[in-house]
C-alpha cells in the first residue's frame, strides 16, 4: 500500500492523480491552495483511498511544504511517492513579463518543485521511493509569449535529472512527465477568455497528431506507471504524454 503526497490535488491533473492512486488503495496526503476544492476531492475519495489527509498551502512556501511532509510522517509513518502537479500558467515575453510575474511563476513552478522535494526526500530515501514531477512540452520547446512559464518548465526537467543522479544511490527514482495540452480548468479558463474560444479549441486539437487534447486521467495513468514497480529501472526520464505533438515537424515535404 503506497503512501503518496499529491500536490495541486484540488483540480486538473493533480485531482486525476489523486483519484488514480485512491483507486489503487493508497494512503494520500493531498495538498493545494484551494481549500474548498481540496475538501471536495477528499470527500469524493473517502471510502476509496485507504486514508486521506489534506494540507491547504502553497508549494512556493517552505513552511507549507513542511506541514504537508510532517503530515505524511505523522499520519502514515513516511512516504513512498511524491507526485508534484501544482503549477500556474502565465504569459509574456522578456519585455512584457514584469519582475513580480517572473518571481511568481518561477516560485510556484520551479521553486515549489524544489521545496516539496526537499522536505520529502528523507522519507523517500527511507522507503526507496519515487518522485514524479509534472513538467510540460514547453519544458523541451516553447511557444511564443510564455517566457517565464517555459523557463520554469525547462528548469523543472533539469531538477528531475539532477535529483535522479543524486538519489539513485539511495534507491530513489525521479522522473518527469511532459504533457501536451490537457483538458483542465487551467486551460479552459485561458481559452474561454479568448474572443473566439471555439477556434482556439480547434487549434489546440489540431496541434496534436492524435487530433485532440489529453484528458487528465491519461496523464495520471503515466504518473502511476512511473511510480510503480513496473518502472523500477526508469529514472531521470521525462516521458512525453503529448499526443505526438513533439514528434511532428512543421511544414510538409514536396510530393514527388
Active site residue ranges? 149
Sign of CA dihedral 133, 139, 143, 145: positive
Q: Which residues contact 142 (CB under 8 A, 6 or more apart)?
A: 150
Neighbours of 161 (CB within 10 A): 16
Three-state DSSP state, 166: helix
Q: Distance between CA 242 and CA 18 in Å, rounded?
A: 21
b/e map 40-76, b = 16+ CB within 10 Å: ebbeebeebbeebbbbbbbbbebebbbbbbebbbeeb
- The answer to whether the beta carbons of residues 180 and 214 sit under 8 Å apart is yes
* Beta strand spans in the chain (E): 3-7, 27-32, 51-56, 81-84, 130-134, 173-179, 238-241
Cα torsion 183, 186, 191, 193 to 10°: value is 150
Amino acid at each position: 500500500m503506497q503512501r503518496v503526497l499529491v500536490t495541486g490535488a484540488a483540480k486538473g491533473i493533480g485531482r486525476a492523480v489523486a483519484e488514480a492512486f485512491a483507486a489503487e488503495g493508497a494512503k494520500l496526503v493531498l495538498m493545494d491552495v484551494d481549500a474548498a476544492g481540496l475538501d471536495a476531492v477528499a470527500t469524493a475519495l473517502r471510502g476509496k483511498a485507504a486514508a486521506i489527509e489534506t494540507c491547504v498551502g502553497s508549494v512556493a512556501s517552505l513552511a507549507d511544504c513542511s506541514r504537508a511532509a510532517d503530515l505524511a510522517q505523522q499520519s502514515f509513518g513516511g512516504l513512498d511517492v511524491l507526485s508534484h502537479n501544482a503549477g500556474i500558467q502565465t504569459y509574456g515575453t522578456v519585455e512584457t513579463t514584469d519582475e513580480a510575474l517572473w518571481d511568481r511563476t518561477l516560485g510556484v513552478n520551479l521553486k515549489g518543485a524544489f521545496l516539496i522535494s526537499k522536505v520529502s526526500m528523507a522519507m523517500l530515501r527511507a522507503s526507496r521511493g519515487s518522485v514524479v514531477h509534472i513538467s510540460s512540452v514547453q519544458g523541451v520547446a516553447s511557444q511564443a509569449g510564455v517566457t517565464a512559464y517555459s523557463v520554469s518548465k525547462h528548469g523543472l526537467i533539469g531538477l528531475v535529472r539532477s535529483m535522479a543522479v543524486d538519489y539513485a544511490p539511495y534507491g530513489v527514482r525521479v522522473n518527469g512527465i511532459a504533457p501536451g495540452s490537457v483538458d483542465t480548468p487551467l486551460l479552459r479558463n485561458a481559452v474561454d477568455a479568448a474572443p473566439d474560444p471555439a477556434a482556439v479549441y480547434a487549434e489546440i486539437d489540431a496541434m496534436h497528431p492524435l487530433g485532440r487534447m489529453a484528458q487528465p486521467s491519461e496523464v495520471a495513468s503515466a504518473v502511476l506507471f512511473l511510480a510503480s514497480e513496473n518502472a523500477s529501472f526508469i529514472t531521470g526520464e521525462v516521458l512525453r504524454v503529448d499526443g505526438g505533438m513533439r514528434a511532428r515537424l512543421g511544414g510538409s515535404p514536396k510530393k514527388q
